[in-house]
Chain A
Amino acid sequence: MMKNKPDEEDYWNSSKFKAFTFDDEDDEFSRLKESKQAVNSIRSLVEEEDDEDEVEKVSWSGEPVGSISWSVRETAASNQKTQREHAFPKINASSPSVSRSHSGYSLSSLFKGKTKPGNFQPFTDSLSESSVKLYAPELRKPKSESKDYISDWSPEETIHRMQQGKVVSLERFRSLQDKLLLLDFSVRAHDGNIITAVLIHLKRTLSKEVLFRELESRQTALRHFIHYLTEIRDHRLLLELLRALGRTEDAALLQYKEHLNIEDESKRRDFLKSCLNLPFSPEESAHVQDHYTLLERQIIIEATDRLAEHAGKVEIFQKFPRRASILNMPLITTLYYCCFYHYNEPEGTYSSPLNIRHTFRISEKQYFVTVLAARAKLKAWSDLDALFTSRNWLGFTKKKSPLSFHRVVDILQKNSAPTQVLQEYVGLVDDADLRIGLAQKHKCHDIVINTYRDLKDRQLLLGYRGKVERGSAEERKINDLLDSPHIRWKN
């Protein structure tokens, strides 16, 4: 089995061959490398594909050949190959002899009381007859089983039978009291399926007022009813219910949620506007108001900008064509967009970044980060200069930032800012170690050199001389400093 591979022969015959060497270094992940090497060196020893029978066969995707999800694909694929249409529709004249029995547990039989004895083999029965005898003495038929089919089941027994998957009739329960008993027993059974079935029955046979009133004192049933209405998307009734219960905030949120299903932006805007009067909690109310205001603006901005772009008169749209519509984008994305295309507009316009900042109470930090990212993308370095510059009462200027200059440098660097720009902001980093690290990384030599000078660290400066280009201005600067008689070096 091994003979046609010469290097394997080598491996087998050579005794000096060492797979790899272990040293006892405690470096965690050099060990990973070792085991990788080991694996690689062993790999060539054995043929790859000679899986033994006991080894599960695995296709490349890793699923064992023969697993269900694998077979679904396989049999479907083979089907495609053989698939062909029958030239004539096949009419099977003799087929109806097989009686198509209805499921005994269908809703029609459930609600109209039509039972079809015999056709339906309840699951629990089949269970108790076969497998259960072997395994599950506890799952044997319950005591109530002995009763007859048509007899008068109490609400409790009815629920019990439903749990067994038996045919029952809920129509028989006409009095409110019986219906409520049904509901209470179904809740006690904790089977959501049965609770829902009873609730459907109640919904059909009770007036809304009565149903809502009774559900109010039955929280579990109520939750199931709400869930049911959500599932069948009967939002009108659901809203009525929530309002009747005084759960106005839930109702408001539910109604608000509807907007997600509205595609057309004008309709969506109008819908959001109609949500403004809903009884949200105060802070949620503010958010919904913002949502509406935002979409309203986006629609205006989008219309204006699309025109401008088509007209081809505005340079920025020519240089940087818009990639997507701004409609339904989050607020910060919208701000970024406006910083990109509308940065210098006066604060009076809808698309002015400053206006957006004030209207939506955007935090200073968020605002700075967004402007920074947008203007850096455009390489508008002078805008950044202005952004960070603040003037004190004496008229001196100073660079200030609500986010650390470390992060400012990150963002600039990601937008491939030139060294001079980076240097300026690296120099503003407070922490000396961090500053040097950043300066070295971004090759801001002046900062490194000046910092070492300030630290009076001759050794580090000497070391750094080796890293700058020969004959460059930086090297001269270092030499000048090293020769300077005015500095008292600490080493």
Chain B
Amino acid sequence: MAAHLSYGRVNLNILREAARKELREFLDKCAGSKAIVWDEYLTGPFGLIAQYSLLKEHEVEKMFTLKSGRLPSADVKNIIFFVRPRLELMDIIAENVFSEDKRHSSVDFHILFVPRRSMLCEQRLKEQGVLSSFINIDEYILDLIPYDGDLLSMEYESAFRECYLENDQTSLYHTAKGLMTLQALYGTIPQIYGKGECARHVANMMLRMKREFAGSQNQILPVFDTLLLLDRNVDLLTPLATQLTYEGLIDEIYGINNGYVKLPPEKFAQKKQGEASKDLPTEPKKLQLNSAEELYAEIRDKNFNAVGAALSKKAKIISAAFEERHNAKTVGEIKQFVSQLPHMQAARSSLANHTSVAELIKDITILSHFFSLSPVSASEAFFDNLTVEQEFMTGVDTDKVNTYIEDSISQKDPLIKILRLVCMQSVCNNGLRQKVFDFYKREILQTYGYEHILTLNNLEKAGLLKPQISSRNNYPTIRKTLKLWMEDANEQNPNDISYVYSGYAPLSIRLTQVLARPGWRSIEEVLKMLPGPHFEERQQLPAGLHKKRQQGENRTTLVFFLGGVTYAEIAALRFLSQMEDSGMEYIIATTKLINGTTWIKSLMDRPESQAP
């Protein structure tokens, strides 16, 4: 199931196994038959850790989604709530428990908080008068979930909002805890670098936690050489830009959730023989996306413009393999051919899926050259949007009202699209000129409703949207020093990370790249312009654990993005890992996988009823 986790440089399956073990231990604490009531949000992340079969082995007979009202009758000894620590969920649980009490059933209740128990929630349960109904109140520390062979995510959606809007550092505490667990499994990380306030906090906490456990030495040979902690607010620009890698575009357009994407079903309709194409599926097609799929691993990080060629190359190989049957003359040869069929078939269906996905994306992204196309067609809108983004990133007219944004507002395009662009302009201009700022604000409020004052205020607090205070715009300096814009980005055969945004090299990844070589000392000036401190710490290793590095052996860096990372940034890091002369392999960790849309959404004002 999770073999792909162990193929990478670092065997992340160890982490998954540890998580599974803990889950089993909790289940065994509740003796007898069980029903689990799920906070629906958790089924995704849990799916990355365990399958139903594991739960079944531990006497889980029924599973329900958490809903208000009565629990479905389950006829089990234990009912376990798997929930996030959220107040509104506590109210639902209380309702469930009351209804079950009315039935006079003798069932035992338990709560498993994921990833942490919470005072507030327990207090709420107490207020509701049900706290004493629970035999076990426990927590399941799911800090870092292995996502792929080189990727860990906390799936902590509100981390950025909490850190930069609410100044609540709980997510940082969990991050530090997660990193301690990781070090417990993979050895102490000798070098820690960081940039940003949150990075500083996390490093401080890690060092303090280590001091507190000073009595015991970690005897595991370190797997990671370096840890790099990066605040998302050091690079606010990158997530706002539209990702142009295959995986990034899938996420931008359809949204990838816990490694799955839901797609419109039309292109996946399969006509089976002997079966008329009578019922076209209406349910969305759900695909799992990870490196377990050979083809996907090959193309996910390519610029979308290089995906067509890659798919066609793959098609050639597969059909050649099928053609082999003509050469199979002897029984032995035929037998061998047949034995390869399952693998070939899997490759074939994988190719079919991704060809369809690529077609879906192509319809939206590729500019048709025919003028006759309606000007508001999806692809033209995409292209125009991209053009404006690239103008901003190269510093063109960032101090004026942008006509495209103005027109998009008057067309009532989705608010999030507008906010992404306006924020990008603000970031690329180190704040908008007061007149421009006021104009956008007024147009947005008039068109989308005055209540969005609150959202605009949030974006201001997070630093994404602001009036220019000093007349000095330091973005051009940063862009030039870090070479954030590359005119001749090669999309087909990239030689630089800028290919992931067809020209723009993500700032966060440039910082990572420069750190590896020639080192941050070469960019002191720029580092000072970016928010928050930068620092270096060392953790002592017990004697005997110092790595004896082979000549030419790569070093391994864990890059932790506090506040989220995009798929395009991940692609850029993978590209650096694969570069022959880089000498560095990267493992990526984050609080949450994000894109501009999900990120802005997390910062928007929510009506009370949807508050966390």
Chain A residues in the interface with B (C-beta under 8 A):
5, 12, 15, 19-20, 22, 28-29, 31-32, 34-36, 38-39, 41-46, 48, 52, 54-56, 58, 60-64, 66-72, 75-76, 79-80, 83-86, 89-92, 95, 98, 100-103, 105-108, 110, 123, 126-127, 130-132, 135-140, 142-143, 160, 165, 189-194, 196-197, 200, 219-220, 223-224, 226-228, 230-233, 253, 256-257, 259-261, 283-284, 287-288, 290-291, 294, 328-332, 360-363, 365-366, 369-370, 403, 406-407, 410, 437, 440-441
Contacts and interface: CB of A to CB of B under 8 A. Distances in A.
B51 A407 contact: no
Given A79-B62, A330-B447, A366-B446, 7 more contacts: A39-B352, A72-B63, A231-B612, A287-B445, A287-B450, A331-B445, A331-B449
B104 A90 contact: yes
14 contacts: A15-B326, A38-B351, A61-B283, A62-B262, A70-B52, A86-B73, A107-B123, A196-B119, A219-B167, A261-B608, A366-B410, A366-B443, A437-B371, A441-B371
Interface of B: 1, 14, 18, 21-22, 25, 38, 40, 43-44, 46-47, 50-53, 55, 61-65, 72-74, 87, 103-106, 108, 116-120, 122-123, 126, 131-139, 166-170, 172-173, 176, 180-181, 183-185, 188, 201, 205, 210, 212-220, 260, 262, 270, 272-273, 281, 283-288, 305, 308-309, 311-312, 314-316, 318-319, 322-323, 325-326, 341-342, 344-346, 348, 351-352, 355-356, 358-359, 362, 366, 371-372, 375-376, 406-407, 410, 412, 438-439, 441-443, 445-451, 453-454, 457, 605, 607-608, 611-612
A137 B50 contact: no
Contact of B219 (A20, A100, A137, A233): A137
B45 to A, nearest CB: 10
Given A46-B341, A132-B184, A366-B410, A103 B131 contact: yes
Contacts of B181: 136, 139
B342 A105 contact: no
B61 A75 contact: yes
Given A61-B284, A231-B87, A83 B72 contact: yes
B452 to A, nearest CB: 9
Contact of B21 (A39, A60, A131): A131
Contacts of B326: 15
A64 B288 contact: yes
A71 B52 contact: yes
Contacts of B316: 22, 38
Given A64-B288, A67-B47, A253-B457, A38 B315 contact: yes
B117 A105 contact: yes
- The B interface is mostly helix, strand or loop, or mixed, namely helix
5 smallest CB-CB distances across A and B, nearest first, come from A62-B286, A192-B170, A136-B184, A71-B52, A31-B312
Contacts of A107: 119, 122-123, 126
* Most chain B CB inside 10 Å of its own CB: which residue of A102, A103, A132, A257: A103
A197 B214 CA distance: 28
Contacts of B410: 332, 365-366, 369-370, 403
B315 A34 contact: yes
Nearest to A42: B348
B132 A100 contact: yes
B352 A138 contact: no
Given A100-B132, A200-B123, A68 B346 contact: no
Contact of B375 (A76, A363, A410): A410
A228 B611 CA distance: 12
- The A interface is mostly helix, strand or loop, or mixed, namely helix
Given A41-B319, A140-B213, A196 B283 contact: no
A227 B166 contact: yes
A339 to B, nearest CB: 14
Nearest to B24: A131
Contact of A91 (B104, B273, B285): B104
A228 B262 CA distance: 36
A83 B73 contact: yes
Contacts of A54: 342
B212 A35 contact: no
A22 B312 contact: yes
A60 to B, nearest CB: 6
A255 B346 CA distance: 58
Given A136-B185, A291-B450, A20 B319 contact: yes
Given A32-B355, A43-B352, A131-B22, A331 B73 contact: no
